[in-house]
Structure 1
Amino acid sequence: MNLHDVRRQLRDNLETVRARIAAAARRAGRLPDEIRLVVVTKYVGESVIRELLALGVRDLGENRVQQLVKRVELLGAAAAGLHESSPQSAAPRWHMIGHLQRNKVRKLLPHVRIIHSLDSTRLAQEVQQRAADHGVLVDALIEVNVSGEASKQGISPSDAPRLAQFVRGCDHLRLRGLMTMAPLSDSPEAARRPVAALRDLLAQL
């Protein structure tokens, strides 16, 4: 597949996904602009990422610290997302979407400002300390294991309020919401149940 075909396929896929997001938002009584699309790039090369940026994608996700840092370095200093950019800028905002170990936080910051997998007070303390060292504010989602599956990462629903309270007391860490992984299933209802439970938990925090 040549570059022209890749660009066309990416454009078509993005249009399809954005249309589905807009339709889902309308059904839920929300505005499509309230939904942020994060494109996960762990299986593609840097040339595809550059094409995504050219198509207006700004939020990119990686699940491994080493890979994320490598991509930031290859795409240039602006790719760290350390500065607010104009709509025309190609600088992406990097999201850490995978499980994060405390000993990897030093390497991760300040390359990201959004962590989707905060799951313990000890990890929150480490992020707070490293963010303070760099003088940055890090957004975070608390990862909650709503389904209780042993194969899933995340804090238990009963422990989430305590972690949320701790994060709210940090001056370099900002709680932006909750995250969970739905069970792998062909049934949409199987995915809706844990998301609904997560929504109820968020309302209690």
Structure 2
Amino acid sequence: MDKKKLAKVQKDIENKATLVAVSKTRTKEEIEEAYNCGCRIFGENRVQELKDKYDSRYEWHLIGHLQRNKVKDVVPLVSMIESLDSLRLAQEIEKECSKINKIMPVLVEVNISREENKTGIYFEECLSFVKNCMKFEHLDIQGLMCVGPLTDDEEHIHECFEKMRVLFQRLQTEYGKDKIKYLSMGMSQDYPIALEHGSNLVRIGSLIFGKRK
């Protein structure tokens, strides 16, 4: 783990955003070291990895694509699902959360760059999708998430993140800032740009832990 880079990230986001340390492929020992350096929320992409590493001392977010048949394993363990991307998934989360009487905070994942290899709701579908999801009693829609475009074209990254900010503000106008709280965007390679466009939840992995194993 690179403590200097972690300290820089923590300083960069101070009073602006909350850090989700992406612990995909990392060992329990690495997670514990990050925890001892101030990380409190850890993000996992895969359900089995989450189950293997789960420790109740930490707060966990599911940040990767969630298959419906894995929902029952996830809902008891996480404090947020950041990757809601279909109505059928919303229905499954509602069903499993109702069984344990849990209200699940969720973020709607938006495929803002319209890349075929990414999951998520398209920009123009998002408002109606959120409206449909508001009917579920055990889902607490708290905002939006996106993965920035994989490109060296910074102008394109700025454009995508700005569109997310506009969408986020529309939802806040519709449902209130107390309800729509989080705009999760920005990773190791682009989090400074995301912060410029209002991100208040950043998902950082390789800058903290080094290159993925």
- TM-score, normalised to structure 1, is 0.78
Choose which of 146, 158, 182 in structure 2 pairs with 1:180.
Answer: 146
Equivalent residue letter for 2:44 = E
- SS in structure 2 opposite 1:139? strand
- SS in structure 1 opposite 2:144? strand
Choose which of 164, 171, 194 in structure 1 pairs with 2:137.
Answer: 171
- SS in structure 2 opposite 1:37? strand
Choose which of 37, 43, 48 in structure 1 pairs with 2:30.
Answer: 48
Question: Who is 1:71 aligned against?
Answer: 53
> What CA distance in whole angstroms lies between the structure 2 residues aligned with 1:184 and 1:150?
12
Deviation at 1:101, TM superposition (A): 1.0
> What CA distance in whole angstroms lies between the structure 2 residues aligned with 1:16 and 1:169?
41
Equivalent residue letter for 1:17 = V
When you count helix as a share of all residues, which structure comes out higher? Answer: 1
Residue 21 in structure 1 maps to residue 3 in structure 2? no
> What CA distance in whole angstroms lies between the structure 2 residues aligned with 1:38 and 1:57?
8
Q: Rg: which structure is higher?
A: 1
> What CA distance in whole angstroms lies between the structure 1 residues aligned with 2:138 and 2:158?
33
Return the structure number with greater relative CO, CA threshold 8 A, min gap 6.
Answer: 2
- TM-score, normalised to structure 2, is 0.75
Question: Who is 1:152 aligned against?
Answer: 118
When you count strand as a share of all residues, which structure comes out higher? Answer: 2
CA contact (8 A) 1:183 1:191 kept: yes
**Unmatched segments (≥5 aa) in structure 2:** 172-213
| Aligned residues: CA RMSD | 1.5
Deviation at 1:162, TM superposition (A): 2.0
Equivalent residue letter for 1:19 = K
The one-character-per-residue Cα deviations of 1:68-102 (angstroms, maximum 9, x if unpaired) are: 11111xx3xxx2xxxxxxxxxxx211010000111
Deviation at 1:200, TM superposition (A): 1.2
Choose which of 47, 62, 68 in structure 2 pairs with 1:102.
Answer: 68
